[in-house]
Each structure stands twice: as C-alpha cells, then as structure tokens.
Amino acid sequence: MVNAEAFELGTNRSCIRELFEYGLMRAKVVGKDQVYDFSLGNPCIPAPDDVHKTIEALLQDTDSLALHGYTSAIGDYETRAAIAADLNRRFDANAQAENLFITCGAAPGLCAVLGGLSVAGGKVLALAPYFPEYKPFTQGAGLEFDYVQADVPDFQIPFDALRKALTPNVVALIVNSPNNPAGTVYTEKTLQILSELLTEKAAEFGHPIYIISDEPYRELVYGDAKVSFIPKLYKDTIVCYSYSKSLSLPGERIGYVYVPSQAADSQAVYGAVAGAARKMGHVCAPSLWQKVIARCTALRPDLQAYDRNRRALYEGLTQMGYTVAKPEGAFYLFVKAPNGDSLAFSQMAKEKDLLIVPGEGFGCAGWVRLCYCVSYDTIMGSLPIFKNLIDAL
C-alpha cells in the first residue's frame, strides 16, 4: 500500500526531464553536436572564479566541524547577516539576520512558505505561464492551486482577470519576475498597480494576501530592464531566492527565504515557515555553501553569453516568422507554435533532434519553451531546423 497521489507524482515523469533524457540517449546515437537540446534550465556559464577561490580558502583555513557540521536550522548567523547587509545595500531593504531563513534553494523555500501559509480552504494563485512545480508544491502544502492566464503575447499581468480570481480564500499570489518560461520582467509601474489591487482586496477580505516572490532569476536581466525589489512596493511580500542560476550552482542547493519585518504577522510567518520546513525534514542548508555565500553575496553572473544567445535566437526566429515573447530576463524564450498546436509542434521538432518543451505544463497551450542556456553553436545549429519546420507548415 502506498500513497496514490505520491505515486502518481513520482512516476508521472516531467515532460522536461523526459525530453532531456531522450536528448542524452540520442546524443549517443547521432553525436552530441547533432542534438539541439533546449529542454532543461541548467546554467551553462561557469560559477564565478571567486566562488571556487572562496571554497579553496575555506578548506585551508576553516576547521572540519565548522565546515561540515550542522548549523542551526534557520542558517548560520554570519550567512544571514551577510545576505541582510547585501539586501540593504542594494535595495535599502531594512533587513536583519532575523528575517532570513537559509534553504536548500528556491524550491524547498517555496514549499516552506506555502506550508507556513497553509490554512484550511486556502487558495494560492499563480500567473500563467508559470513554473510547473508550483502546482504540486501548493497542493502538497494542503492549499488549492489556481492560475490566471497572462496577457498574450507580452505576458504582462491581466489585471481584470486577476481581480475576478481574487476570492476571499486566496492567501497568496506567486509572482515570478524574471519569469520562467516567458522571460518577462514586470515594470515597477505594473507592480505598483498589483500592489494597489492586492491592498484593496486584502482590506475587503480582512486578511493579508501575500505575494510569494519567487526570484531565482533576479540577477539575470538584459538591456534596460530593471528587476524591482517587490517588498519595497508591496509590504506583504515573502521572497524565495536561490543561487542556482545567479551563481550557476543548481546542484549545490542553496538559497533563502526573506520575511520582511514590515510584512503582516512577520514573526508568525517566519515561525510557520521554519515549522513547515521542519515538517519536510529540513535540518539545515549545506554548511560549506552557507560559508561560501556569506563571503560571496556581492558576486553577480557574467551574462554576456546568455545575452548573445538571447539575441541570436530571438532575432533568428522572428525573422523566420515565428511569434516570440521578447525576453528581458532569465534564460528562456517562449515561442508560439506556428501550427497552433504546441504538443504536435514539439513532436515535429523532436523528430529532427530539436528538443523544445510544449507550453501545456506551464498553463499555456499553443506555446513552446526554449531554454537558451546552451552553447552558441547549439543556437546557430538549431536555426536551419527551425526554418525547415516553419517552411514545412
């Protein structure tokens, strides 16, 4: 006897992983350079040199227990204080170590926040296209999940539809800017309108509606786009941050939750996040990585390679006649399936060893996602295949 829902989740493979593994299998048959794999968001730029230098220095100077022993569940004070100082320097955030909870990345941070906000009958909203894991994370926390379709093709916030979806049982809205999969970055003006709407609805319902700001791509932004710090625009914001993409460390599992003091019931929320993390078996984030982060908060990624890929792919595809959402952040391109059927189009592409993810899982059928954190050669090699595909329709 096993839990049926857990079995379903554990055995119903994610389409992204399936494509990625198919790509590995095909690479053995046709050669790695003949497979154009845009499926998985594994950063292709290396972690900054200073990360490696910091590890080397720590290994020389720090004793084994301090490096590899347990830390407190909320994280090393030194790490939390360093992150708070970084947030204050960059965003004038008024953060303190006590507002930070160090996690094993954004995913468990999101689960802890959702678990902490879980009340009977509560609902969480997302804006489609959204990161597919939001649904199992929310439902796993005992909350209902629903989403609102973003405006197409710029994927901005659909305020009329959102207003209708904000029912009294909504406890939180997940905001992901820069967005996976559309690369959208919300402007400060958009976020101000959002803040006014949520403030109005929270007053009407008599309880806070939190923004859960999922920020793994905060530092991945191009051109003139600016990523606003949402707690400055809406006080009831809880931030889930990750170093997976900003420092190219996705396998190391390190990030944090930030519960600002000015957020409604801040201390209760922080305590509930800690309790929800405990229920999930969180003991502490990796000690070595906490020490690295404490010394590396000022490091930023070198985005040149991503930006070159972004421009080559966006320009190449739009010139061929594809409709593409212009990405201002993250490392994804969201493209309208030219035949209107994302499942059929990604299957046609797969037959040419071009691996792109249908938008269904992101709540956006009719679109496909390309992850452009790949080599420039992969981008250039894929363009003739995209051309053949659209010409053949």
H helices of the chain, in order, are 4-11, 15-30, 49-61, 64-68, 77-91, 106-117, 134-140, 159-165, 188-205, 230-233, 266-279, 287-296, 304-320, 342-350, 376-391
CB of 250 or CB of 366, closer to ligand PLP: 250
Category of 51 on φ-ψ map: left (φ > 0), alpha (ψ -120 to 50) or beta: alpha
- Residue by residue, DSSP assigns 216-235 as TTTT-B-TT-----HHHH-S
CB of 228 or CB of 242, closer to ligand PLP: 242
CB of 42 or CB of 262, closer to ligand PLP: 42
Q: Strand 367-371 to strand 332-336: parallel, antiparallel, or no bridges (unpaired)? A: antiparallel
CB of 183 or CB of 316, closer to ligand PLP: 183
CB of 180 or CB of 378, closer to ligand PLP: 180
CB of 118 or CB of 242, closer to ligand PLP: 242
Q: Measured between alpha carbons, how far is 283 from 17 in angstroms, rounded to an integer?
A: 28
| Beta-bridge mates of residue 243 | none
Using alpha carbons, select from 120, 69, 117 the residue that is nearest to residue 275.
117
Residues that bind ligand PLP (CB under 6 A): 41, 105-107, 131, 176, 180, 214, 216, 242, 244, 250, 255
Q: Measured between alpha carbons, how far is 100 from 93 in angstroms, rounded to an integer?
A: 12
Q: Measured between alpha carbons, how far is 348 from 48 in angstroms, rounded to an integer?
A: 38
Count how many residues are written for the chain: 393
CB of 180 or CB of 248, closer to ligand PLP: 180
Q: Min. distance of Cβ 391 from ligand PLP in angstroms?
A: 32
Q: Which helix (H) or strand (E) holds 173?
A: strand 170-175
CB of 117 or CB of 389, closer to ligand PLP: 117
Q: Min. distance of Cβ 2 from ligand PLP in angstroms?
A: 25
Q: Min. distance of Cβ 299 from ligand PLP in angstroms?
A: 16
Cβ pair 322, 101 in contact under 8 A: no
Using alpha carbons, select from 66, 73, 67 the residue that is nearest to residue 284.
73
Q: Measured between alpha carbons, how far is 23 from 224 in angstroms, rounded to an integer?
A: 35
